[in-house]
Structure 1
Amino acid sequence: MVLPALSLSLQFARFAAAPEHRAVLARHRVARWIRHALSANAEITVRIVDEDEGRQLNRDYRQKDYATNVLTFDYAQEPLVLADLVLCAPVVAREALEQNKTLEEHYAHLLVHGALHAQGWDHETSAQDAAEMEAYETAILGELGFADPYA
């Protein structure tokens, strides 16, 4: 299987737990996870942030005053997918623990999820769209060797 090309910028904000997250998010892993979710070549920046930055971005761009796990800023879908994916490390770590997942499993899921959003997938438009997106995420993660994130 030939996967789309990906130009990836991987950034980490400065926060106390950054080394733990950096260890899980080796560049080659992040690129592999995202490439499996792409249907076209892409230029994507992934930024791992602390709770303050995650909350500020969610508040400024979505008018929601809390830090969320992943924010997708999609700029173009054709002919090249252009997007920024911002993941809030403390939220991701907390959710992984609550869901009894490894940090790696949860990051893989959220990066696939964000990459799909960058290509126009949306789970908030209808129950059918949500079911289709979840099924596709599950299939992609299965190809990558991960269990169903919704099980």
Structure 2
Amino acid sequence: MTATLDIQIASTACDIPSQQQFSQWVTSVLKHLAQPDSEMTIRVVDSDEGLQLNHDYRGKDYATNVLSFPFESPVPLPLQLLGDLVICAPVVSREATEQNKPLVAHWAHLVVHGTLHLLGYDHIEDQQAEQMEQLERDILAGLGYADPYAEADAIT
């Protein structure tokens, strides 16, 4: 199970993960869920584009960390196209600092979180949220990252 990624860097941030890191994180999700080889796009943006997309698609007037746009084909395709993730680099950096988390761990969490959304997982209802968060914990632990939902002061 592998991921073919189209990485689009539309950000001036200098601390964006490498293609290899993005691929490792997405592939970990696919392997954990026994998904077939898949293709998707990850677009890394700055705050202005993040705000515009969040406004246009969610009616929110702020840039958010990750937006997911699942692909839905009207006809069956020979390959699995998952869709697009848009990740706002300045928001990721700010959140990592505010939450006292390593930046790379927060990037990994948001890529895993967004990829799960592309695969149909959601967190609107409590039961869905618990299932999705546990998947995130398990996948991230397999990658060597701490529980992203643990209280910052509980991590020592």
Please confirm whether the aligned pair reaches a TM-score higher than 0.5, indicating the same fold: yes
Moved more, 62-71 or 5-14: 5-14
Taking structure 2 as the reference length, the TM-score comes to 0.86
Q: How does 1:9-48 map to 2 (within 5 A)?
A: 9-15=6-12, 18-21=13-16, 25-38=17-30, 39-48=35-44
**2:5 aligned with 1:8:** yes
The CA distance in 1 between the partners of 2:22 and 2:52, in whole Å, is: 24
Contact 1:92 1:107 in 2 (8 A): yes
Give the paired residue count: 142
The CA distance in 2 between the partners of 1:58 and 1:133, in whole Å, is: 22
Q: What residue in structure 2 maps to residue 104 of structure 1?
A: 104
Measured after TM superposition, the shift of residue 62 of structure 1 is: 1.1
Contact 1:81 1:118 in 2 (8 A): no
Q: Give the counterpart letter for 1:138 in structure 2.
A: R
Alignment match of 2:51 (pick from 41, 51, 55): 55
Contact 2:9 2:43 in 1 (8 A): yes
The CA distance in 2 between the partners of 1:56 and 1:142, in whole Å, is: 33
Q: Mark the runs of 5 or more structure 2 residues left unpaired by the alignment.
A: 151-156
Contact 2:11 2:89 in 1 (8 A): no
Larger radius of gyration: 2
Moved more, 94-103 or 72-81: 72-81
SS at match of 1:112: helix
Q: What residue in structure 1 maps to residue 129 of structure 2?
A: 130
Measured after TM superposition, the shift of residue 29 of structure 1 is: 1.1
The CA distance in 2 between the partners of 1:40 and 1:72, in whole Å, is: 19
Q: Mark the runs of 5 or more structure 1 residues left unpaired by the alignment.
A: none
CA-based RMSD of the aligned residues comes to 1.4
The CA distance in 1 between the partners of 2:89 and 2:54, in whole Å, is: 14
Contact 1:40 1:81 in 2 (8 A): no
Taking structure 1 as the reference length, the TM-score comes to 0.89
Measured after TM superposition, the shift of residue 76 of structure 1 is: 3.5
